[in-house]
């Protein structure tokens, strides 16, 4: 599996491997010998001066008179998002408690991570969040109502085709 | 170390005829390997596509580090069994690099009979895990199996080295501290359920992956309960309710991304240090191996010519060059690793056996792995040799081979016949890896001799009944025996039955050995200790 790097919003699959001479750049099915000698990037023998600045998963590369922003994409996050996230439609209570807020109602669109319902349990306030993007189908408890562990709190509209 | 001076005339008629013959054998090997890897009935490929499953070879691409070497083992397992319908025994086994770590991969091939386990599939999985145990190699299981092939269950279920051994080996690996990861890409039913359950880590694909002791039809038959695959053993149930699996994945690609990150967490074990220097390509072209190996395996040739085309720089330090000359012993390097080579240049006599036993102990004390290059027709027989103690000298060689603590590697280059195989680290002597070249035979005696012995017995039996046989009648007895023997001593039969870890194209031998030696050094090497040598 190759690394995924976004350059100006286009995704590229790349990998750097070793061989007897040095490094080989894989881009999809193509390969080139590459080397970084001081400030010169050498690709298949042709050298260009290059300036590189790294900031976490972002790399800024200045080469051939232009600056590019490269963003490393985690393959786990990429493939999870590509498949539309977990298929789970039912959001259940992680522990027994009572409802203290219901910020969404049936029909609302939510994004993964949005708060669906806020519960109080064991002296803690817990925001129960959307496991994926979707539309709320039902909110099964009102503020003040209590429930047992694994109670069905919120249902998202099924994505099954 | 001095370079071997080759005596081969690469322009001679016999060299060219040998080269044509052996290149043909190598091409046939490549074609058969290619077919075993890729050739499938269209309906099986269609079924995979319908199930939204990747083909095994694409799964490997997704799992392995790009641009790194991969050594597939026993590609042609079961090629002469089950009418040839179960390529690779429905399993893939191989050593590769994942997230920078050396691992061994075991994968069910769902494009072959739904990944069902035949008796030879079980043998191949057990061998894969034996390799993991002997070399302390982390294991990645790609699980996608219909379960045991029921019509042959008696040959795969109950015995010591049948299916239970897979789970026993998994448990032993865990006890040794060698990590295992299962990626559940299809169903793991019955015994198969224990593969992910006994792994330290498991990833399961939502929708296609499932783990259960009994599938929905069996549950219905047993208790009347009606249940879907997802409810019974799907990804969400096992990762959120039962805790049988660890990571749910939305797709196979997602599962491999997770798997690669898990492997990336494993601490890389320090390897056992042995003598190593920068590698050097052989001075003589390995392609010339084709011209050296004879067309008829009974034709004698000098094994130094093979060593010159496998060893780094074609350099070889020969030990006792003037004594016991039918067994060549000496030091060389393969991909920079120092090895002690034992290679047959004729039958084993008393002196060659003693030389071999002595050299093995030298290598063991010197922490030098052993490489056996087999071209063996046996120990010398006859009154004179028995009086000199050929059996007890052979026993010394076998004692040394069995007892050596350093890793052993065995290549059957041209022939492995008779008791000499025991002295040359045959399969039973636990070489870490063992390979066969395409033209090399394996049997207790050569086909011609066996046919003669068996027809002689028959002729004498009939003679006692007062009957004599015509030439045609003798041929009618002899020919079928000869045919059976030739078939069953071929490299393809040996590899079909997993008597080796695969057939190698001779020119690939140095690379394969490099990977094998590197893999073997994941395990520590014990101090030398031996049984009693009959002096």
The CATH 2.40.50.100 portion of chain A extends over 87-156
Comparing CA positions, the residue from B358, B407, B401, B339 lying closest to residue B376 is B401
Residue A138 bridge partners (DSSP): A155
CA distance A81 to chain B (A): 9
Report CB contact under 8 Å: B236, A88.
yes
Conformation bin of residue A123: beta by default, left when phi > 0, alpha when psi is -120 to 50: left
CA–CA distance, A90 with A140 (Å, rounded to integer): 11
Please write the tens of the pLDDT for every residue from A128-142. Answer: 998 888 899 999 999
Looking at residue A44, its pLDDT comes to 86
User: What is the SS3 assignment for B388?
Assistant: coil
Instruction: Write a three-state SS string for B145-180.
Output: ECCECHHHHHHCCCCCCCCHHHHHHHHHHHHHCCCE
Residue B60 has pLDDT above 90, yes or no: yes
Q: How far lies B426's CA from each of B122, B146, B373, B416, B423, in Å?
A: 21, 34, 10, 8, 8
Tokens (6 digits) for A4? 């995924």
Tokens (6 digits) for B97? 């690099």
Question: Across the interface, which of B62, B66, B254 has its CB nearest the CB of A83?
Answer: B254
Residue A78: closest C-alpha in chain B:
B254
The CATH 3.30.700.30 portion of chain A extends over 3-79
Cβ distance B190 to B157 under 8 Å? Answer: no
Please write the tens of the pLDDT for every residue from B193-214. Answer: 999 999 999 999 999 999 999 8
Tokens (6 digits) for B339? 């090895």
Please write the tens of the pLDDT for every residue from B172-188. Answer: 999 999 999 999 999 99
Task: Locate all alpha helices (DSSP H) within A22-156, ordered by sequence.
Answer: 75-82
Lowest-confidence pick of B71-75, B298-302, B394-398: B298-302
Tokens (6 digits) for B206? 């939502």
Answer yes or no: is the ipTM higher than 0.85.
Answer: no
Question: What is the DSSP track for B343-378?
Answer: EESS-B-HHHHHHHHHHHHHHHHTT--EEEEEEE--
Tell whether B236 is within 8 A of chain A (Cβ): yes
Comparing CA positions, the residue from A136, A141, A137, A161 lying closest to residue A153 is A141
Question: Across the interface, which of B68, B248, B258 has its CB nearest the CB of A86?
Answer: B248
Residue A87 has pLDDT above 60, yes or no: no
Which of the following CATH numbers is that of domain A87-156: 2.40.50.100, 3.20.20.370, 3.40.50.300, 2.102.10.10?
2.40.50.100
Tokens (6 digits) for A10? 């286009």
Report CB contact under 8 Å: A87, B258.
no
Which domains, from first to last, does chain B contain? 11-40+270-445+490-535 (3.90.226.10), 43-263 (3.90.226.10), 447-488 (no CATH)
Report CB contact under 8 Å: B67, A88.
no
Report CB contact under 8 Å: A82, B258.
no
Looking at residue A161, its pLDDT comes to 45
Q: Mean pLDDT across the stretch A105-131?
A: 90
Write down the architecture of domain A3-79 according to CATH: 2-Layer Sandwich (3.30)
CA distance B249 to chain A (A): 7
Q: Mean pLDDT across the stretch B73-82?
A: 98
Query: pLDDT band at residue A83, thresholds of 50, 70 and 90?
Result: low
Please write the tens of the pLDDT for every residue from B8-41. Answer: 999 999 999 999 999 999 999 999 999 999 999 9
Cβ distance B249 to A87 under 8 Å? Answer: no
Task: Locate all alpha helices (DSSP H) within B81-118, ordered by sequence.
Answer: none
Question: What is the DSSP track for B181-243?
Answer: EEEEEEEEEGGGGHHHHTSSEEEEETTT-EEESS-HHHHHHHH-----HHHHH-HHHIIIII-
Query: pLDDT band at residue B454, thresholds of 50, 70 and 90?
Result: confident
CA distance A17 to chain B (A): 6
Residue B64: closest C-alpha in chain A:
A1
Residue A1: closest C-alpha in chain B:
B62
Comparing CA positions, the residue from B374, B348, B346 lying closest to residue B435 is B374
Which backbone phi and psi does B84 adopt, to 5 degrees? Answer: 75, 15
Residues 175-234 (B) with a CB less than 8 A from some CB of A: 206-207
In this structure, the number of other CB atoms found within 10 A of the CB of residue B291 comes to 24
């Amino acid at each position: 599996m190759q690394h995924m790097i976004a350059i100006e919003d286009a995704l590229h699959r790349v990998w750097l491997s070793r061989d007897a001479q040095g490094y080989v750049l894989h881009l999809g099915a193509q390969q080139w010998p590459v080397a970084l000698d001081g400030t010169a990037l050498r690709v298949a023998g042709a050298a260009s001066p290059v300036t590189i600045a790294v900031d976490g998963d972002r790399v800024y590369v200045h080469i051939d008179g232009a600056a590019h922003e490269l963003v490393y994409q985690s393959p786990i996050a990429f493939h999870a998002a590509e498949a539309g996230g977990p298929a789970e439609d039912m959001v259940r209570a992680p522990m027994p408690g009572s409802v203290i807020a219901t910020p969404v109602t049936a029909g609302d669109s939510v994004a993964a991570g949005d708060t669906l319902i806020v519960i109080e349990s064991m002296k803690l306030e817990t925001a129960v969040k959307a496991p994926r993007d979707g539309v709320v189908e039902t909110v099964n408890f009102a503020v003040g109502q209590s429930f047992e562990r694994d109670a069905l709190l919120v249902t998202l509209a099924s994505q099954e085709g | 170390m001095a370079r071997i001076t080759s005596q081969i005339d690469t322009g001679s008629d016999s060299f060219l005829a040998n080269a044509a013959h052996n290149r043909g054998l190598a091409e046939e090997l490549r074609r058969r390997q290619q077919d075993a890897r890729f050739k499938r009935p269209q309906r099986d490929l269609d079924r995979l596509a319908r199930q939204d499953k990747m083909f095994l070879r694409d799964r490997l691409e997704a799992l392995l580090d790009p641009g790194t070497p991969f050594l597939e083992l026993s590609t042609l397992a079961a090629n002469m069994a089950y009418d040839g319908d179960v390529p690779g025994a429905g399993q893939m086994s191989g050593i590769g690099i994942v997230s920078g770590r050396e691992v061994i991969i075991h994968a069910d091939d769902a494009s072959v009979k739904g990944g069902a386990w035949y008796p030879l599939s079980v043998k191949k999985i057990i061998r894969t895990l034996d390799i993991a145990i002997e070399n302390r190699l982390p294991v990645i299981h790609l699980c996608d199996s219909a379960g045991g092939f029921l019509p042959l269950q008696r040959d795969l279920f109950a015995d010591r080295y049948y299916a239970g051994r897979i789970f026993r080996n998994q448990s032993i690996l865990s006890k040794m501290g060698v990590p295992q990861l299962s990626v559940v890409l299809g169903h793991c039913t019955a015994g198969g359920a224990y593969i992910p359950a006994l792994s330290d880590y498991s990833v399961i694909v939502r929708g296609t992956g499932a783990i259960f002791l009994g599938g929905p039809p069996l549950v219905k038959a047993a208790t009347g309960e009606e249940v879907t695959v997802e409810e019974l053993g799907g990804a969400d149930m096992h990762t959120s309710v039962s805790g049988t699996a660890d990571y749910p994945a939305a797709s196979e690609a997602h599962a491999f991304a997770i798997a690669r990150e898990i492997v990336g967490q494993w601490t890389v074990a320090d390897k056992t240090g042995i003598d190593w220097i920068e590698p050097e390509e052989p001075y003589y072209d390995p392609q010339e191996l084709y011209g050296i190996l004879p067309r008829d395996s009974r034709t004698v040739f000098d094994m130094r010519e093979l060593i010159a085309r496998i060893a780094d720089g074609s350099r070889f330090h020969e030990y006792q060059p003037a004594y016991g000359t039918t067994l060549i012993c000496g030091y060389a390097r393969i991909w920079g690793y120092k090895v002690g080579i034992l290679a047959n240049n004729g039958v084993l006599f008393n002196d060659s056996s003693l030389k071999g036993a002595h050299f093995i102990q030298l290598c063991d004390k010197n922490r030098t792995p052993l490489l056996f290059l087999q071209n063996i027709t046996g120990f010398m027989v006859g009154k004179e040799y028995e009086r000199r103690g050929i059996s007890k000298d052979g026993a010394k060689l076998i004692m040394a081979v069995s007892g050596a603590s350093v890793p052993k590697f065995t290549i059957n280059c041209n022939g492995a016949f008779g008791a000499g195989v025991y002295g040359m680290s045959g399969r039973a002597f636990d070489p870490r890896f063992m390979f066969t070249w395409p033209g090399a035979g394996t049997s207790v005696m050569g086909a011609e001799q066996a046919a003669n012995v068996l027809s002689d017995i028959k002729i004498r039996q009939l003679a006692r009944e007062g009957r004599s046989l015509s030439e045609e009648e003798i041929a009618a007895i002899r020919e079928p025996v000869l045919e059976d023997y030739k078939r069953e001593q071929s490299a393809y039969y040996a590899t079909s039955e997993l008597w080796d870890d695969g057939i190698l194209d001779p020119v690939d031998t140095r690379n394969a050995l490099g990977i094998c030696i590197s893999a073997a050094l994941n395990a520590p090497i014990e101090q030398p200790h031996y049984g009693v040598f009959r002096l």
